[in-house]
Structure 1
Amino acid sequence: MPKQLVMKAMKSPGWLVAVCFALWFAAHSFFAFLFVSFTVAVWIKRSIKAALKEEKAEDSKAHAPAVVAPATADANVTPIKRQYAKSAVVVPLKTGTDD
């Protein structure tokens, strides 16, 4: 929801103001809180259902028979070397004492 909120807010700041007002009103009214809670629960349920549907579609594509590439293409591929980030240098703190 935050990603959708940001995208819609960039298109129309009035939409962001409306959502903020609805949340403020829900914080002050029990019935508005119930309505907003129900709306959010339905939205979450739909988004989970859509994500599962997309995942199922991707799995069905992944299990499809793949086209086998010729052996000469594999010979030209070089292995990827691991590159590690340099660690930070630890410098002792200067406290002003001669310890």
Structure 2
Amino acid sequence: MPKQLVFKAMKSPGWLVAVCFALWLAAHSFFAFMFVSFVVFLWIKRSVKAAMKEEKVEDTKGTAHAVVAPAPADVNVTPIKRQYAKSAVVVPLEIGTDD
């Protein structure tokens, strides 16, 4: 929702003002809150249904044309060595007393 709101706000700032006004009104009125909640619920339900439909289409396309390529076996792989920067956590603090 925030991503779509930002894109619409960049195209037309009127959308941002309208959404902010609707949220402000919903914060002050029970009936406006119920209406905004209902609209948000329907919007989420519709977007989930569209995502599920899109995923189903991708699954049917992906299984029909799936080609499995063998992974190359590289024997000379060296592990990555972690290098930590010097910081107050790693270097002991000098406080002036000898222990």
Instruction: Summarize the Cα distance change of 1:62–1:33 in structure 2 as closer, same or farther, 3 Å threshold.
Output: same
The CA distance in 1 between the partners of 2:81 and 2:12, in whole Å, is 43
Unaligned runs of 5+ in 1: none
**Equivalent AA in structure 1 for residue 64 of structure 2:** A
TM-score scaled to structure 1, two decimals?
Answer: 0.75
Q: Is 2:83 the counterpart of 1:86?
A: yes
* TM-score, normalization by structure 2: 0.75
Segments of 5+ residues of structure 2 without an aligned counterpart are: none
User: Structure 1 pair 92/34, CA: closer, same or farther in 2 (3 Å)?
Assistant: same
User: Identity percentage over the alignment?
Assistant: 71
Partner residue of 1:26? Answer: 26
Q: 1:86, CA displacement in angstroms? A: 3.4
Q: Deviations over 1:37-64 (max 9, x none)?
A: 0000000100100110111011001110
CA–CA distance in structure 2, aligned partners of residues 16 and 34 of structure 1? 20
Amino acid at match of 2:16: L
| Alignment-derived partner of residue 64 in structure 1 | 64
Per-residue deviation at 1:67? Answer: 6.0
RMSD in angstroms over aligned alpha carbons? 2.6
